[in-house]
Amino acid sequence: MNLYDFTVKKMDGSDANLSDLSGKVVLIVNTATGCGFTPQYKELQEIYDDLKEKGFEILDFPCNQFGEQAPGNDEEIHTFCTGRFGITFPQYSKVDVNGENAIPLYKWLTKNTKFGGLKGPAKLALAPILKKMDKDYKNNGNIKWNFTKFVIGKDGEILGRFEPTDDIKDVRKMIEEAL
């Protein structure tokens, strides 16, 4: 399996076949509008603006599983993101990324990657929350929090996983190398 084997729901409820992204480098990210990491939308938009013409795409999946920080329906979330951060990359329907209701795309992503650890000052605040949610959080591929990112190569294979505390410069570097 690879990225191109999946279909996801667009905000309008229609299907999007990810095989349409064949030959592109893709960043997949689970997002939330009320999270301390929400300002990452600005950095994601900058990368998108700089690299979309070179064959880069972002798939934004709002998710309310972490602290209920993505309230509202798809349209409300989209209005917030375009109004506050000016995002122009595609947003998809709100999803679950963990558990029995996780969409198949995220089941594939988490089965085939490992948690990369926490970095920086946010580590001190986030680690106790994660441990409370999942005592074995360091040893499984489940999504730990909002703004976990996956870079997918032109062949549809996973190139890397980045946790929300990872430096966006490292994400961008992997994307640029893949392009």
Percent of the chain with pLDDT over 90: 82
Q: What is the pLDDT of residues 132-163, one digit of tens each?
A: 888 888 888 999 999 999 999 999 999 999 99
Taking every pair of C-alpha atoms in the chain, what is the biggest distance, in angstroms?
Answer: 43
**Across the strands, what pairs with 15?**
9
Our answer to whether residue 81 is catalytic in this structure is no
Given 35, 47, 58, 95, the catalytic residue: 35
pLDDT confidence band for 85 (50 / 70 / 90): very high
- Show the CA angle centred on residue 4, arms to residues 112 and 56, nearest 5°: 90
Secondary-structure class of domain 3-178 per CATH:
alpha beta
pLDDT confidence band for 39 (50 / 70 / 90): very high
3-state secondary structure of 164: coil
Tracing tokens 């795409």 back to the chain, one arrives at 57
Q: What is the pLDDT of residues 43-60, one digit of tens each?
A: 999 999 999 999 999 999
Average pLDDT in the 15-37 region? 96
Count of C-beta atoms within a 10 Å radius of residue 115: 20
**Across the strands, what pairs with 82?**
none
Those residues whose C-beta lies under 8 Å from the C-beta of residue 167, and which sit 6 or more positions away, are: 119
* Residue-range domain boundaries for the chain: 3-178
Q: What is the pLDDT of residue 71?
A: 87
